[in-house]
Structure 1
């Protein structure tokens, strides 16, 4: 599924919108992706864009100043580098606590495997893209250049 998401981002980022599900399925099949993988990715994207996960959280969480503790299952799926990057995004003001929770939910639902830093960054990019927040080059620089420097120290 990760490869499909990268393909979609690379091919539709500049256009601003993805084609309908049937057209997208055809294009992904022609690009060599398997039917099961396409179905899984489209289901994940549908859930992602519907924002139905946000119904599980209070809107007041967005203004929270509490510290996030990860459950053992979350720590198993998201390594220390990934958790550090999520914390960096919060501290940089790119994510609020509600967006952090939605990011963690989305990353955990990706494909059942461990969430690498690249997967987390892709989910953040997709989220910012769907919210039309990628027009500010400072966000991209903060997201990818500054985060790499921050994580090395």
Structure 2
């Protein structure tokens, strides 16, 4: 499923190609690309879930940013998001790339992934997909894209 999301992001969203709106055409294209029907449907449902997070009810909940609150992760979230992933999200919050709402959207989308393994690189792509789909977060998307694609120069200590 995650491979399909990556395929869609790289071939439609991240490029300048026009996005296919018709689910049947998109499903046919993904099938021709070698993906299985069941995984295609899961990926499309995941994308619909992301779109649903922007509706009025979810948006009202997500926009209630508690001042000074600490995020406690559930056992399932800790099992999916290791310490490196959780630390990276905290780092992005400190940089201003993620806020309360986008962090919760990222966690929601990570937990909905149907994949046995999940790592920091996967998390970065999910964050990029979420930021791309949230209006008003263009600067945060650009920052995250820079963190994802830029290679460090010089020696790392």
Q: Which stretches of structure 1, 4 residues or longer, exceed 3 Å deviation after superposition?
A: 134-139, 142-146
Question: 1:52-63 counterparts in 2 under 5 A?
Answer: 54=58, 57-61=61-65
Q: Hey, which of these two has a bigger chunk of helix by percent? A: 1
Aligned length: 149
Would the alpha carbon gap of residues 55 and 137 (structure 1) be closer, same or farther in structure 2, given more than 3 Å must change?
Answer: closer
Would the alpha carbon gap of residues 17 and 50 (structure 1) be closer, same or farther in structure 2, given more than 3 Å must change?
Answer: farther
Would the alpha carbon gap of residues 77 and 134 (structure 1) be closer, same or farther in structure 2, given more than 3 Å must change?
Answer: same
Measure the CA separation in 2 of the matches of 1:54 and 1:44. Answer: 16
Question: 1:65-76 counterparts in 2 under 5 A?
Answer: 65-76=68-79
Q: Which runs of 5+ in 2 are unaligned?
A: none
CA apart distance, 1:143: 5.3
- Which residue of structure 1 lines up, in the alignment, with residue 126 of structure 2? 123
CA apart distance, 1:10: 1.3
SS of the equivalent of 1:4 reads: helix
Q: CA RMSD in A?
A: 2.9
Greater relative contact order (CA < 8 Å, ≥ 6 in sequence): 1
Residue pair 1:128, 1:134 contacting (<8 A) in 2 also: no
